[in-house]
């Protein structure tokens, strides 16, 4: 081997070393060669969190050999060339989730609320009507073995509207309330029940008598299931004004909040004592935590702290002849929403003027994380962001997302899923499960379970009521 050849070989080796070192160096800084432009570019990443955890991930049709495990909550895909990709998540016997995504240099694009649903969810009949009854309404209770039912039943004495607690595990039924009715009459008592701490240990039953045009409030106690106490009769001995509403006190069992046409009072049933709250001509009131919220006839909105016994003015609704359709306070007591009977929806946050979210709202629901409110307007479902959101989708407070792809049907009923990033929606005979992530298209999965009345649970449970049975459908678990 000549000296000249050895010198050339040496410099070739040195050059290869420098090139390899350069490549290793830029790779260590996150650069990759873009095959389309033949340039080195800074890469980005993608984070995915799916439910169920085990699912197939495809980027531009190529399967990614990564998956969530017992010790990992998600999938991190790194060193991606910045560009648009078609992302698909699939699992056998589940609906596919697809979205066009954008990877940017040095950034990680996150999708941490991907929920896949089985094409055939698990169904079970949890209540079957007898030959003499028709199920009018029902409400599942916190104890998954129990439900409240309102049935129309016939015996030799005529037709009766009956409220009862049914324990499907034990096969028992405890009657709460019974009233004789006309054969075609439905009292709709279940939607008017007042619960104590959202549990059926004690219930207040408002019964409106069409003949006398009066509402009588009854108290049912699980400890004395065969006895109904007439609260209206007891309270009328102390209150001259007409009673409009009664709810339980959150801290003391013997006390009740009573709304009349003039005042809101705290009534102590043990002592027969009345304490007047600073409310004048209230139209409606609700409790949230340790605070009482109400709207007065002149549009003033107040809150009252039951512990500190302090009142706080929240806002004034500038409307003539106020008629409250629904008053709701978010679970963290930060936001108050007032829906008027004409459809105008107001959002109130203490210290700020009320904001009109809609002129023609039909219904609304706060999300479980208290950062969003969904409302129905002209068949379209709108999600209004109460706070800035930087997780996954980026939204400023006041921005909205609209869900309206329901084919030829319009939304009629809806509820939040537990993650506050999905909604369960009813349209005619179809049930939709929809995300609120509007990056590219909004993924929706739809089912057709048949006619009936539907109730939605935050865990992805759908309850379907037909005249002869109640069916429980678990959207997140397949058969």
Q: What is the pLDDT of residue 9?
A: 60
Q: What is the pLDDT of residue 385?
A: 97
* 43-115 maps to CATH 2.60.40.2070: yes
Separation of alpha carbons 315 and 301, rounded Å: 5
Task: Work out the burial of residue 54: count CB atoms within 10 Å of its CB; fewer than 13 is exposed, 13-18 middle, 19 or more buried.
Answer: exposed
Q: Which residues of the chain have pLDDT under 70?
A: 1-41, 67-72, 143-144, 198
Asked whether the whole model's pTM tops 0.75, one would answer yes
Chain segment 72-116, per-residue pLDDT in tens: 678 999 888 899 999 999 999 999 999 999 998 888 999 999 999
Q: What is the pLDDT of residue 408?
A: 72
Q: What is the pLDDT of residue 25?
A: 45
């Amino acid at each position: 081997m000549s000296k000249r050849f050895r010198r050339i070989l040496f410099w070739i080796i040195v050059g290869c070393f420098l090139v390899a070192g350069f490549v290793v160096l830029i790779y260590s800084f996150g650069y990759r060669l873009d095959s389309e432009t033949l340039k080195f570019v800074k890469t980005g990443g993608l984070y995915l969190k799916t439910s169920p955890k085990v699912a197939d991930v495809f980027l531009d049709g190529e399967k990614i050999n990564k998956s969530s495990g017992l010790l990992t909550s998600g999938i991190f895909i790194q060193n991606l060339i910045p560009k648009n990709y078609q992302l698909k998540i699939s699992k056998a016997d589940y609906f596919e989730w697809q979205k066009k995504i954008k990877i940017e240099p040095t950034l990680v694009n996150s999708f941490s609320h991907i929920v896949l649903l089985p094409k055939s969810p698990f169904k079970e009949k949890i209540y079957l009507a007898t030959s003499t009854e028709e199920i009018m309404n029902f409400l599942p209770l916190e104890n998954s073995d129990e439900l409240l039912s309102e049935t129309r039943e016939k015996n030799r004495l005529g037709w009766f509207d009956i409220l009862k607690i049914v324990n499907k595990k034990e096969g028992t039924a405890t009657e709460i309330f019974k009233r004789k009715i006309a054969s075609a009459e439905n009292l709709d008592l279940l939607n008017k029940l007042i619960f104590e701490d959202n549990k059926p240990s004690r219930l207040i039953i408002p019964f409106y008598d069409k003949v006398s045009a009066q509402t009588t409030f009854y108290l049912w106690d699980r400890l004395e299931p065969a006895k109904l106490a007439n609260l209206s009769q007891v309270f009328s001995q102390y209150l001259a004004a007409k009673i409009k509403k009664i709810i339980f006190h959150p801290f003391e069992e013997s006390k009740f909040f009573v709304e009349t046409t003039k005042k809101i009072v705290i009534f102590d049933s043990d002592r027969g004592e009345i304490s007047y709250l600073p409310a004048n001509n209230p139209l409606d009131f609700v409790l949230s935590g340790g605070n009482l919220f109400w709207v007065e006839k002149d549009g003033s909105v107040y809150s009252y702290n039951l512990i500190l016994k302090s009142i706080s003015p929240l806002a004034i609704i500038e409307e003539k002849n106020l008629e409250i359709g629904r008053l709701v306070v978010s679970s963290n007591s930060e936001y108050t929403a007032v829906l008027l009977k004409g459809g105008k929806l107001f959002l109130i946050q203490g210290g700020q003027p009320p904001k009109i979210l809609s002129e023609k709202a039909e219904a609304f629901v706060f999300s479980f994380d208290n950062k969003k409110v969904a409302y129905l307007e002209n068949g379209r479902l709108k999600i209004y962001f109460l706070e800035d959101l930087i997780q996954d989708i980026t939204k400023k407070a006041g921005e909205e997302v609209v869900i309206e792809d329901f084919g030829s049907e319009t939304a009629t009923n809806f509820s939040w899923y537990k993650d506050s990033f999905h909604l369960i929606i009813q349209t005619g005979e179809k049930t939709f499960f929809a995300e609120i992530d509007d990056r590219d298209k909004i993924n929706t999965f739809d089912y057709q379970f048949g006619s009936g009345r539907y109730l939605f649970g935050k865990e992805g449970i759908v309850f379907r009521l037909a005249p002869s049975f109640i069916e429980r459908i678990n959207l997140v678990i397949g058969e």
